Every structure is written in C-alpha cells, then in structure tokens.
Structure 1
Amino acid sequence: MRSRLGIFFLLFLFLLCSTSQASAAEKVLVMDIGATITPSSDDILADAIAFAEDGDYQALVITLNTPGGVVDATLNMMEQISATDVPVIGYVYPEGTKAWSAGTLLLISMDVAAMSPYTVIGSAQPVTVTASGSEPVNDSKIVNALVATAQENARKHGRNDTTAAQFITENLNLNPEKALEYGVIEYIASDLNDLLEQVDGLEVKGQELKTSGADLVFYEPPLRLSFLNIISDPIISSLLLLLGVYAIILGLSNPGFGAELFGIVAIALGLIGTGFDVNIASIFLILVGVALVIVEFQSPGFGVFGISGLVCIVAGSILLAPTDFPRNYTPAEFQQTIILSVVSPTIVIGIFLLFVLYKIAVVRHSTPKFGELVGDFAVADDPFGPGEFGYVRHKSEIWKARSEETIEKGDRVEILEKDGIVLIVKKIDASSSLSEK
C-alpha cells in the first residue's frame, strides 16, 4: 500500500513539474523596432536575444515599422538572428505601416516573415541626397554586395531570391498579398495573437513552435540602451551637436552662465549618438562659422561676418545630417526629412543667436545712459535752495536734485554731474536760456 502511495506521489510530482515547465515554455518575447535603425539597435537586439535565451521563450517576435537606417547595425542584426537558437519571427506591424530599405533586408533574414494588412515592404534601392535632389547609387560594387546579401538570406529561408534582388535593383514595393504571392513572406496576420496561432506547430531551427495561446511578454530595453537609442536617432544626434556648438558660442561670448559646459556635454552626447562617424567637412564648416560669429560679436554692428558665419553653420549642418550611403540606408524621402529637421531649427536658432549677440554687442559698445545726462537740460518741478533737495524733470523722468543756488519751480537748469541717484544742477539765467533757444 505504501509503495503504491509512493508511486502515485512521484507520478504527481512528475506531472506537476511537467505542467510547470510547459507553461513556462509557452511564452513569446516581443521586441519593437518602431523607428530608424540606429547604431544602438544591434545592441538592443543582442540584449533581447539574451533575454529570450535565458527565459526559455518559444520565439522572439520583432515587429517592424521603420524607414531603414544604419547599414552596419542592420548587418550585425542579421548575424545575430542567424546565430541564435531562438526562433526569430519578423512581423511588419501594425496595420498601415512599412518596413523599407534596411527594414526589408532585415525582414527577409528572419526565420519567419509576416506582414499585417495594408503594410508595405521594399524601397531598398540605395540613394543619396545631393544639392540637386536625390540620386540612386549605381556603384556596382555596393549594389552587387547588397543584392548578394539579400539573395543569400532569402535562399537560406526558402524565399524568392529574385524578388529579394528586385527590392534593391528596381526599388520594388509589395503589399502583404503580393509579398505572399511572390514568396518573400509566409504569413499575413491581423495581430500578434493571430500570428502566433498561425505559426503554432511550425518547425523552426530544429524545434516545434508551441505558440498558440502563449503569453506575450513585451521586451523593454534597460535604461542605458534606451537612452543610447534616443540619442542615436539621426535627427536627435545632429541637433545635439548643433546645440552644443551654439551653446559654446554663447558661452564664449557671454561667460558665466555655464553655457560652455552644456555645449561640451551636448557635443559629447551627439558624437556618441552618431557612433563618432561624423563628416569632417561639416565640422570644419561649423568651426569656421563659429569663428566668424565670434568675430562679428567682437566688432560693432551686424555685418558680413555674422551672416557668413550663419551660412557656414547651416551648410555644415546639412553635411552633418547622416544621409550619405552606405552608412545610412534609407529612402530619399526620409533622408530629405532628416535634412529639413536639422536645417530648419538650425536656421531659426542661428538667427536668434545672432540677434542676441547683436543686442549684447550694442549694449556693450553703447555709451552708458547716465553719461548722457551730463550737460543736458531739465526743468525744476518744485523750489529748493542751497543744501536742499528738490526734483527736476528730464525727458519725462523725475530725478532728485540739489544746487548751490536757489531754484524756483519751472526754472530751466543744466545738469553738471551725477552723484549716485542725485543730479547736481545749476540755474540757467534768462539770457543764457534765450541763447540756447
């Protein structure tokens, strides 16, 4: 009897452990790429993959809504997806969004590729923005390398490698129905739960997915990576660099307010955000612009140095915005958006800064107001005698005054000097007053 109870007890423990293990395994981690792929995106993906591996998750779902981004980060992310044992599912989500350029290359490198309704993938032809507009990159070395990478990733996952190449060579764009028909994705799903129901039972990387009814756990990167992701945005990092430059200009022109310290910190953060890959020509132009603005500040008036400095800073900011290929792999429209986002506030801030510096220069080079009183004339508001104080009116302002002689109300007096807030005056006789007139 005891032996039977022992067997039942062991069987109960076994079933309990098996149930707890099964429920623990029925989890899916969801990571969102909802903006530009930045130099920090690959670090965030690495952390999410490690989180999924340690937590024994069934799969990692990466939701995509991106115009593209940094090529080096995208290539690193492809390698990480290939290296991990966790099944990785790419999902263009939510409805009405897109995964262009680098986002498309990332999607076709996933173990499973899916799209939600009314989404778009494609626009993977490399372009660069110039002064005359956008131009496609026709360097065969660059284009062929991208095509080969896209095709090999497509073949690895049984997808249409011809269409993968057309994303790059023909700037092809596909909606979910066409992408499924052309064989570059496997599923169209209305939401995450629908996607998990459809992929349930699929064998990926030697394991069967058990995702039906699985718990969704939404990945949140640690604070350090979240902050790095914010400053890595091409618009934010460029603006940080420019704000740092303006702060240093203001700090050097008007020391004592800590603007220089803020400028140094902003420039350091901007450099970290760009991954230290900054156009040397942009830095040179901005430094020249800074020097010209400072020269303008040192000279009276608003002249050619200030305008030239502003032009140099604006031109430098255009080159500073990371729109060049192959570092930043995004459609021309998004690259132009980056330029407008950086240049517009640059012009506004630059004009405001020059206006401030102009006002500071006017104040510094102007004659003190109290010095203009000496030698001017005023009218007595009340009578006062020697050793007494009275009041005089000077250009609608009432001043306290004293004199060595008797002053009657209405007498015209000359201001001899200023003693603190008291004017020293003398009476102007009738003949002198007449001659002044």
Structure 2
Amino acid sequence: MRFLFSCLLFLFFFVQATSAQVVVVELKNTITPASDDIVNEALGNAQLENAEALIIILNTPGGSLEDTKKIIEYIETSPVPVIGYVYPKGATAWSAGTLILLATDIASMAPNTIIGSAQPVEMTAEGTRPIEDDKIINAVVALAEERARQHGRNVTAAREFVTKNLNLNAEQAMNGDVIEVISPNIEELLIKVDGMKVKGRILNTSGADYTYYAPSLRLMLLNLLSDPILASLLLLVGIYSLVFGLTSPGYGAEVFGVISISLGLIGLGFSINIAALFLIALGMALLVFELYTPSFGLIGIAGIACIVLGSILIVPLGYPGLYSPEFLSTLLISLLAPAIILGFFLAFAVYKVMKIRTKKPAIGEIIGDISETIDAITPETTGYVRYQGEYWIAKSRERIEPKTKVVIIGKDGAVLIVKSLQGSP
C-alpha cells in the first residue's frame, strides 16, 4: 500500500513537472532599444524551458521603427509560438505596437482595447509631423501587409493602419479578420488558443501554468534609461553639470556631468547628432569665455542659446518612428521645458557669478565702519575689537580704553587700524 501511494505521488509530481508552460513578457510604454533585447531574451528563456508559447502583452504608444523591425525578426525566427495580446482592458497598441501584433503567430486583444495609427512620424524642433516620404511610407506599408498576409489576416486593414491611420477596437479587429481571439484575461486566452496549429505544432495551453518573464538587471536598467524623456533629461542635466564643473572646478560637478551624459547616450542607443554636439561644445566655450569678459552680455546669451538648442537637437529628431501623436506631443514638451528652465537657471547662475566677480572687495568696504574695543589699545600695544560679531586685532596711534566705540580707518594685513569715534570728524 505504501509503495502504491509513493508511485501515485511520484506520478502526480511528474505530471505537474511536465505540464504545459507559457511564458509572458510585457512591452509597456515606449518601444526602445531595450525592448527588442527583452523580447529576444524572453524567447530564449521560453525555448530553454520548452514552453508551449510566449505571450507578448502590448500596451504601448509606439516607438522606434528600427527596434520594431528587430522584434518582428525575433518573433519570426523563433521556434516558440508567439501570441500577441493587447491587454489589459483599456490598453492601446498604437503604431509600433500594431505592427508587432500583426507579426505574432496569434493576435488577440482584450475588450475595450485599441490598435492602429501606424503612420511613421518624425519630431522636429518645431513640433511633430507625419512623414510624407513615399519611400518610407511604402516600406512600412509593405512590412505591415506582408505580416498580415503571412498569417492570413486582413491585408487592406494592415495597409490602412499606415496610410490612413486606421484605428480598430477589439470587436472591429475581430470582425475585420485582423486578430483571431478576444479574451478578457490570460487564463481564458490560453483556453481559446488551445488546439491551434502554430509553427508546426498543436498548442496545448488549456489550463497551462504561465509565468511572467523578469528581465535581467542589465535589461531592466537599460529599459529605464531608454525612456526618451529620462534619457533626454540625463543629457540636459549632464551638459549643465559639465558647464558648472568646468567653470567652477573642485565640486565634482564635471564628473557627475560626464556620467549623466554617458547614461543619456546609452539610453538613446548612442544615436548622436554631430551638429548638436558641436552646438553644445560651442555654447560651453562661449560661457567659459564670458567669465573673462567685463560683464555678462551677448557672448553669454549666445552660449546659453547654443546649449539649449543643442540639447534639444541631440535626441534623434527626424528619424522615422512609430509613435502615437499624443506621445510625441508629451515627449516634445518634456524635452523643451527642461531645456528652457535649465537655460534660465544657467543664465541666472552666470549672472550671479559675474556680479560677485565685479563686486567691490570686502576689505575696502570695512573702512569707515564702527567697531568696539575689547582690550585697551595704545600706540605701543595692540588689542582686540569686535566687528560684526568677529574678533579682530587692532592698533591705533592713540590710547583707547576698553568698550569704546571706534571707527576703522585702515587695514594693515590682518590688523585693523582704528581711531576713537569721539576723535573722528
């Protein structure tokens, strides 16, 4: 009896150990250089665990076209079936998210979610604008159409996502043959896709366990730095810290500036605008030069303008991207506002530096001020006086008794020359 129980227990754990597994990875917020690495790493993990499928949860305003193409390539070359899932309720997979969904083996959406608006856009110093270049538009259209055709989906809708910024909710996408499944949660999704044939295998996902994939620490850090707003702020803070460090050495600001700039460039995928770097370098040189001019004027203003303009241009503007218009507007404001605010702060700081530099030396200002003797002072001996709460050594050509008001008439090194207030004119 004990032997039979042991066998049953072993069989139970064996069945649990060999039950179907599904890996879930989330693509939230912007599609960045870290996103494709996260998907690639998750696919490798799913393959290593012999998972039934990988679910990519999409809730994104869009992102880089180049990174989107890499994610699509990883999905197509992986032997693990990939299920795209716009989730949770109210989520959106605009622009790049729509193209990724079209490339997945099974496309699904939760109720009250939206896909579409996949026309490439670019961000300029004046604002955001759709890309009208036929070469780029046709390339993105072909990418969307081919992925839809490959999985037996609506090719016309795939084209209109790009050319007409078509938007569809879950029911419209289902009725229009853009997706295969509508599901309110992952558990029901796994039941509905069970038995589907994908990449030469029949999915066995009904009741399967699923686990969320946690990216490595390196990818988590890269994903954090890859946020366009954070990366741009790191660049701006680093630039101004470097300016302060070079003009006021000894406080470590220049070291912090170099680190901050490096992190910002890593976050942007080392997409560097040479002209922007030239403007920043020129602005820093003008500000340093301004410190050696008589007053704060046109040179300093020109330096600040160069730094602000270079800070705005150093982000990858003009490069085709797949973002929603709402996200681009937020991004542009987030870039301009810190640049302008920090520019005014820098102007104020430089103004204060120049004011201090041209200020009359404090030594000359004490002449004519009143102090009080603590000790007796004679022509032969010195004594202490109290001046503005401080104790100074003083001497005089006349005898002055303690606790007598005196006027400062000169200074000999660290020794004040005083005279009795009664004897002063």
Q: TM-score, normalised by structure 1?
A: 0.87
Shift of 1:31: 0.1
- The reply to whether residue 356 of structure 1 matches residue 349 of structure 2 is yes
Match of 2:370?
Answer: 378
Contact 1:244 1:262 in 2 (8 A): yes
- The reply to whether residue 141 of structure 1 matches residue 135 of structure 2 is yes
Match of 2:165?
Answer: 171
Task: Tell me: CA distance 1:145–1:383, structure 2 relative to 1, closer, same or farther (3 Å).
Answer: closer
Match of 1:106?
Answer: 100
- The reply to whether residue 340 of structure 1 matches residue 367 of structure 2 is no
Q: Identify which range, 304-313 or 382-391, moves more after superposition.
A: 382-391
2:189 and 2:327 map into 1 onto residues whose CA distance is: 29
1:318 and 1:417 map into 2 onto residues whose CA distance is: 53
Report the secondary structure of 2:246's partner residue. Answer: helix
2:127 and 2:377 map into 1 onto residues whose CA distance is: 80
Contact 1:27 1:215 in 2 (8 A): yes
Contact 1:392 1:400 in 2 (8 A): no
Match of 1:118?
Answer: 112
| CA deviation map 1:11-34 (0-9, x unaligned) | x69x96797266434211000001
| CA deviation map 1:220-254 (0-9, x unaligned) | 11111111122122222222222221121111111
Contact 2:312 2:339 in 1 (8 A): no
Contact 1:87 1:205 in 2 (8 A): yes
Shift of 1:291: 1.9
Task: Tell me: CA distance 1:401–1:44, structure 2 relative to 1, closer, same or farther (3 Å).
Answer: same
Shift of 1:300: 4.4
Shift of 1:294: 2.0
Task: Tell me: CA distance 1:385–1:78, structure 2 relative to 1, closer, same or farther (3 Å).
Answer: closer
Cα RMSD of the aligned pairs, angstroms, is: 2.7
Contact 2:55 2:83 in 1 (8 A): yes
2:134 and 2:227 map into 1 onto residues whose CA distance is: 29
1:36 and 1:177 map into 2 onto residues whose CA distance is: 25
Contact 2:54 2:81 in 1 (8 A): yes
Unaligned runs of 5+ in 2: none
Q: Specify the code of the residue in structure 2 equivalent to 1:197.
A: I
Report the secondary structure of 1:366's partner residue. Answer: coil
Task: Tell me: CA distance 1:333–1:279, structure 2 relative to 1, closer, same or farther (3 Å).
Answer: farther
**Which of 358, 361, 364 matches 1:368?**
361
Shift of 1:86: 0.8
Matches within 5 A, 1:404-415: 404-407=397-400, 413-415=407-409
Matches within 5 A, 1:66-105: 66-105=60-99
Report the secondary structure of 1:302's partner residue. Answer: coil
Shift of 1:331: 2.5
Q: TM-score, normalised by structure 2?
A: 0.89
Q: Identify which range, 196-205 or 360-369, moves more after superposition.
A: 360-369
Shift of 1:356: 2.5
Q: Specify the code of the residue in structure 1 equivalent to 2:51.
A: Y
Amino-acid identity (%): 47
- The reply to whether residue 290 of structure 1 matches residue 289 of structure 2 is no
* Count of residues paired in the alignment: 418
Match of 1:312?
Answer: 306
Q: Identify which range, 35-44 or 333-342, moves more after superposition.
A: 333-342
Match of 1:4?
Answer: none
Match of 1:50?
Answer: 44
Contact 1:418 1:424 in 2 (8 A): yes
Shift of 1:62: 0.4
Task: Tell me: CA distance 1:108–1:411, structure 2 relative to 1, closer, same or farther (3 Å).
Answer: closer
